Chains A and B, each alone.
Chain A
Amino acid sequence: MMADPTQILLLEDEVMILMDLDMTAEDLGCAVHTATSAQKALNILDQHGTNIDVAVLDVSLGQDQTCFPVARQLDDLGIPYILHSGDLDRHNERIRQLDAELIAKPAPADHVIAAALAKAVC
């Protein structure tokens, strides 16, 4: 029996970057869920719950939004995630509390997805 594909959640407010990650993850055989806002990501988590294996979270989502609520929800569900951000200096205290690998932008998309998949394989 074929193993189910890894289900990956990608949260990124910049569409070009999201598309790049999306295509890369697809090429690597993942089933991809994409979200451009924290709310959309939370909706996906409501719908799919622990079927999601791993997530990549952009930290700053525009309009002073961050990925923090999504990260907390993932923590509650026990789903691993990595952070993907160009804004390394300015993260507020709450973001710094998150215990997750951080990949600095710009990074090659395959590098980001590979790092995420490494978390999914426990």
Chain B
Amino acid sequence: MNSDDPYNPRGGDQARLSFDDAPDRFRVGNAQEHFSGASGVLFEQAMAQTRMAICLCDPHQPDLPIVFANRAFRVLTGYSEEEVIGRNCRFLQGPKTASEPVARIREAVAREDVVVVEMLNYRKNGTTFWNALHLGPIYNDQGELIYFFGSQWDVSDVRAAREEGRQAKEMARELSHRMKNMFAVISGIVNVTGRVRGIQSETDEINSRIQALGRAYETTLDNASSGNIDVGEAIRAVLDPYDQDGARLTLQGNGTKMPFGTISIVGLILHELAANATKHGAWVNGQGSISVEWGLSPSGDDLVISWTETGGPNIDPSSIEDGTGSAIVNRMLRAGSGSIDRTWSEDGLKVVLTIPVGKQ
């Protein structure tokens, strides 16, 4: 790759550039005081080797013409040196170039200011690229303006990725909205049925489970594409409504991931434990608190969640084991090959949940 091939202006050219004598010629042809000695050599080397397209414009000539453009500039734009030198940079603009960044450049030049803009530019062959243009004044030792410096970087790929990310985000929001709405509709159906049939306490119980599940699922949207979800976010979302003053609940865990399918078990079990704590456990008297810790087992096969209540009233174990909530938990874990280990101490209930998640 030894020439400024106008027909292959992109590719890897901006990354691998061979010898470029334009800086040398520029230095020889220009005022010695600006580019002499070691800094002159440095300039020459840097300009020749950098993958960044760079040009210098002369503010002391009419219409701010380019007086120097390195090879990367020529490769990026497809123009030869003769076609570039002496022209104002605006020849890179075209019909679809927005006027806003152009105006910002004009203002920056007028104020001798530094500016970074992204604008659509055109190559010699008519193709376009998104140019991240960095422009600024260069002064000599006496503080006099001698050049404007422009560096161009093709950010078309970055723009495309950004746009893709924006669309993905928009999609996730729409999905999130629809899902919340769906949970609200399900809730509505259950409530209305409960009222019509006169079984409101039963349907209230069902609804509290549906809502806990809704909160747990909501957290899965951010990393929906990866298949695995953050356990901590789901736990936090399920338990959040129970921690109104922020002092009754401590959550501790690393960024443990679990498969999407595990979310309903974790969400519903934590909901039952929290509901029980509100009825019989540490959250009855407003004195107690609960600590929840989670992580993977040493083998990596299981998600282990420990639930520790302290400071609550003395618990009558039978009152908990007989509840429908506990029966549901037991049954769910049995179905999912997990286990639950409940122990009561003077301090309160301690539960260790083990839920198989497979190797991650």
A residues with a Cβ closer than 8 A to B are: 14, 16-20, 23-24, 27, 60, 86-87, 89-90, 104-109
Contact = CB atoms under 8 A, between A and B. Distances in A.
B64 interface: no
A106 B189 CA distance: 13
A60 B184 CA distance: 14
Interface residues of B, number: 20
Interface of B: 173, 176-177, 180-181, 183-185, 187-189, 191-192, 195, 204, 207-208, 210-211, 214
A28 to B, nearest CB: 12
9 contacts: A14-B185, A18-B188, A20-B188, A20-B191, A87-B177, A87-B180, A108-B187, A108-B208, A109-B187
Contact of A90 (B177, B183, B188, B195): B177
Contacts of A107: 184, 211
B177 A86 contact: yes
Given A17-B187, A23-B192, 13 more contacts: A14-B188, A16-B185, A16-B189, A19-B192, A20-B188, A20-B192, A60-B177, A86-B176, A86-B177, A87-B180, A105-B183, A105-B184, A106-B184
A14 B192 contact: no
A106 B214 CA distance: 8
B181 A20 contact: no
Where chain B touches its partner, the secondary structure class is: helix
A106 B192 contact: no
B192 A90 contact: no
Given A20-B187, A89-B173, A90-B173, A105 B192 contact: no
B173 A86 contact: no
A105 B173 contact: no
B184 A17 contact: yes
A109 B173 contact: no
A90 B195 CA distance: 33
Nearest to B196: A23
B140 to A, nearest CB: 48
Contacts of B187: 17, 20, 106, 108-109
B35 to A, nearest CB: 51
A109 B181 contact: no
A18 B187 CA distance: 11
Contacts of B189: 16
Nearest to B204: A108
* Best-buried of A14, A18, A60, A106 by chain B (most CB within 10 Å): A106
* Best-buried of B189, B191, B214 by chain A (most CB within 10 Å): B191
Nearest to B211: A106
Contacts of B211: 106-108
Contact of B183 (A19, A23, A106, A109): A106
Contact of A14 (B181, B204, B210): B181
B215 to A, nearest CB: 9
Contacts of B185: 14, 16-17
* Best-buried of B184, B187, B191, B210 by chain A (most CB within 10 Å): B184
Nearest to B208: A108
A24 B207 CA distance: 14
